Amino acid sequence: MDKKELINCGKVKSVYNSSDDDKVIIEFRDDITAGDGARKEVMTNKGAYNAIISTKIFKVLEENGIETQFVDLPEPNVMIAKKLEMIPIEVIVRNIATGSLVRKYPIADGTRLEPPVVEMDYKDDEYHDPMLNFSLIQALGIATQEEVDILIEKALKINEILRKFFADAGIVLVDFKIEFGKDKDGNIILGDEISPDGCRLWDSETLEMMDKELFRKGKDDEVMDAYIEVYNRIIPDEEKVI
């Protein structure tokens, strides 16, 4: 499938139209950013590792009844995906309190959150992704109450599936961000990616970080080793293409 015109150039991924009107081609670049793109570096093969990790996770979710945007991974850093109209909401699910949650609310870092906390942010770097509630979602005309209910229900189900999946690999799923879109029939489908860029992953034994938080903290030289460790733990040898 050939790339046609570039339809969106994000901070780490480029999305192209394809010869099939219902599909897009997503190129995972080697860029890594933090602080709404204020800091940016390039890390060799990061795009491929994230694309392969995201592919694996989307396949696990599909096996567990969650429809995703994933269609194929023809090259290690190139994904073919269903074309979706993305909903500009970042849905964040938290199992352990850390990061912005403990900066903004009186909850101690490391507190286990049961039930998990679900948060929704408006995806807009210019406004620094402000937190949403349903009134604001309505005022902005982003989604209906019924659609928001679906996002929350799907996010919690995804959390249950992935918590177990990562636990089996000796990894704690602390929190993560997901995005959804609508297909041409209006179905709400999981899109974007699930990779160490948008999750907090801690080693179950040592609680060491295995995700982009290392980059946010300036430990740039540890980032790729952590991503590769996640890759090695969750991708079976026969599925390793890099």
Q: Is 82 in the site for ligand TYD (CB under 6 A)?
A: no
The smaller minimum CB distance to ligand TYD, of residues 60 and 92, is found at: 92
Contact pattern from residue 179 through residue 218 relative to ligand TYD, giving x for each residue in contact according to CB under 6 A and a dash for the rest? -------------------xxx------------------
**DSSP summary character for residue 126:** G
Q: Which stretch binds ligand TYD (CB under 6 A): 15-23, 159-167, 169-177, 219-227?
A: 169-177
Residue in 17, 18, 100, 138 binding ligand TYD, rule: CB under 6 A: 100
Other beta carbons within 10 Å of 152 = 14
Which tokens in the block code for residue 80? Answer: 């073919």
**DSSP summary character for residue 131:** B
Show contacts with ligand TYD in window 119-158 (CB under 6 A): 121, 129
Closest distance of CB 20 from ligand TYD, Å: 29
Q: Is 235 in the site for ligand TYD (CB under 6 A)?
A: no
Other beta carbons within 10 Å of 3 = 15
The smaller minimum CB distance to ligand TYD, of residues 1 and 118, is found at: 118
Question: Hey, what amino acid is at 208?
Answer: E
Question: Hey, what amino acid is at 25?
Answer: I
The smaller minimum CB distance to ligand TYD, of residues 74 and 218, is found at: 218
Q: Is 176 in the site for ligand TYD (CB under 6 A)?
A: yes
User: DSSP string covering 159-190, please?
Assistant: HHHHHHHHHHTTEEEEEEEEEEEE-TT--EEE
Number of chain positions touching ligand TYD (CB under 6 A): 13
The CA distance from 113 to 116, in Å, is 5
The smaller minimum CB distance to ligand TYD, of residues 27 and 121, is found at: 121
115 preceded by a cis bond (ω within 30 of 0): yes
3-state secondary structure string across 184-229: CCCCEEEECCCCCCCEEEEECCCCCECCCHHHHCCCHHHHHHHHHH
Q: Is 46 in the site for ligand TYD (CB under 6 A)?
A: no
The smaller minimum CB distance to ligand TYD, of residues 3 and 157, is found at: 157
Q: Which residues are near ligand TYD by CB under 6 A?
A: 90, 92, 99-101, 121, 129, 175-177, 198-200
